Amino acid sequence: MLEDVRSYITRLIALYEGEKKRADDALTLLAESKGEVEACKKQIAELNRQIDNQRLTSAFAAEGGNTEAKQRLTKLIAEIDKCIALLDS
């Protein structure tokens, strides 16, 4: 009977250590995933900045002349004003 108890305790300890390792592995994976998410967020922000720069460049290099460039700039300014309004609220 005492051997059975020891056997159960040994098995329980082995199961505990296995689960502890799984939990540690999960925490490591979570930390890595959070790092990847942050890197992706930075990349998205950089790409959005590049898009905005491209839009602005396109507005100044409009092939339709000054009228089309003015319309594009007016639209960009309206978008900027909208963003500022959203930030203020």
C-alpha 16/C-alpha 45 separation (Å) is 43
Select from 56, 50, 78 the least CA-distant residue to 69.
Answer: 56
Per-residue 3-state assignment (H helix, E strand, C coil) for 55-75: HHHHHHCCCCCHHHHHHHHHH
**Tens digits of pLDDT across the chain (89 residues):** 888 899 999 999 999 999 999 999 999 999 999 999 999 999 999 999 999 888 877 767 655 566 776 777 788 888 888 888 888 76
Give φ, ψ of 61 to 5 degrees. Answer: -105, 30
